[in-house]
A and B are shown apart, each in its own frame.
Chain A
Amino acid sequence: MTEPSRQPPVAAPPSPAHRPDWTYHLAAQRGALVAVAIFAAMFTLFACEHPAGFSHNVINTAANKGALLALVAMAQTFPVLTSGLDLSVGMIFVLTNCLASALVSGSPMRVALGLLAVLGTGLACGALNGVVVVLGRLQPIIATLATGSVFYGAALWLRPSPGGTVDDGFAEAMTGSLPGGIPCSLVLLLALVLVVWLPYRRSVIGRAAYAVGSSRQAAFMSGLPVARAQFVTYLLSGLFSAIGGLLLTGLTYSGEANAMLGGSYNLSSIAAVVVGGTSLFGGSGGAVGSIFGAFVLRTIGDLLFVLDLDPLWQPLFLGVVLLFSVGLSSLRLLRIKNRLDVYR
């Protein structure tokens, strides 16, 4: 008998082992880069056309509005990475807004305790979601729709009518700008990326979240902490929604149990996540892309304003941009040679 075993693979096709590393890194970040590019193009147009030119005030307002959605979009990113979804982010956002308008004022000590209470509430809401989805094994989409309703109920109970106030110093610290005109809200986003997102991405629990989104079964078979990873994503989702709620309170100086607002942030956050290059099937993407996705969506409104178009066009325009940016990620379909790849 011959021994095929001794033979090296003679016909090795052109080996991919020699492809330079950066091409892989680039390919992995493609979705986020597309969002960055769209944002850069829109913002340049915006800056060129703005009648008042580029004042600190303009930038600060734009940054605050963008950061508001960016925080909720980051919150949404975590569950989406595990191929989950959190339809309660908007309601946690509204609930923590109401809570902050009641607690974050008075003596510095009270402000600090109030802040902790608000963030703690966000975590608690996230924990509830986590318990229901992970332990209760309910579909995330319906489970968080239900818990979101509960959170909104709590917000309504706290603030049957709009009102409340917030500490001036705190509001200024959230929404003002640093000397040199750098908006505080952007610094906040950057800090969150550096202190929470990047370490999370490189932690075992973060890796496990990507793994769960990629293939839950395979993640389990590889001995990864599947349940813990999912739970943590909802926890972080609650926390980031609460930070968004704090920023909202800093901007409006009041609290309002506004169901429309919560609902619109729910959907916009999903749109921002998708524009930012994160797959709704889970396993790929990241929070940095979502930040840019959020800024893309928010710049659209400003762009219509400076271009002197009727604001009524905004929803239509928003839809077009959404289709366009999602369409970009499907461009690869034009290049495929194997029809089966369409379904992968």
Chain B
Amino acid sequence: MKLKKISSERVILFILEEISLILIFIFFGIFAYLRPKGILNIDTLIFTLYSAVPIGFVVLAESIVLFSGNFDLSVDQITGFSALCAARALMWFNGFPTTLSIFLPIIIGALCGSLNGILVGRVRLNPFVATLGTLMFFKGLKLVVAPTSIWATSLPVFYLSVGRSISTTIIVFALILVFLWFFFRYTRFGINIYAVGGNPESAHMLGINIGRTYFFTYVLSGSLCGLAALFYSGYVSAVPTNIAEGTMIFAFAGSVIGGVSLKGGRGSVINAFWGILLLGFIETGLAMFAVASEVRIVSYGILVITAVIIASFKDSLRDRILKPK
């Protein structure tokens, strides 16, 4: 009887740990049943993936900060600021080398991330307060840099073509995903980020420089926001003033539903990828049924709350099953 109970709990734990994959199949099944011609189409599937890439980079940016046990409320503002700042710079400096222009938002994103890194890693501010402050700072700075939207005609063709090309977008995203997976799995620095997230005091006792690790994590996160800015600009074929606005909540939802722990130290970029894919499917499905934007926002809010409840239930269930009595 006891054996039966334990095995059923293990099944529940397995379901919760793979919840994002299971939800992908459920949503895919529902949409395929209701609109078979819509979703069971290779072009739709590819477009779903393509349209999920810009937000996917923001999800990855949030995820790696969560690995280190911190939090970043400013990911969407860094993305928006990097996009607008890079676009404005390209407008000002006509002679800027076109091939190098794609690195501009990444560098700006990294610099923005380094500000968070200094505040959290060096000044040791609470990450919630620090990134709330930088959220407001970059939001305001966006208006100073670019009070009006920047349209495609004002920008170099090459700069936007990277994000416009479906194949380039998906290939770059896949390469970055593989790089990050490799970095967090096979390098000492990647492992140290998890260690700092899992237990900063122990990590410090073992000689890991906590401040430097936090700093680097935020710089990496900022660079990913810069990549998001580049691909958002291409995807939208312009840089509106509200670009990437509000994506922080999706980044958070994607990370948590993908299985990245809010306590730090757990999760992988592959988990985050399942979260990204799930967000992509939900977005495509809701768009296919022409669901009103306010209903979509409500549904994403429900998704975030559900993700947090699942994450907390998963942790307590895992402890109950696997911890020695």
A complexed with B: no
Enumerate chain A interface residues (CB-CB to B < 8 A): none
Residues in chain B within 8 A of chain A (CB atoms) = none
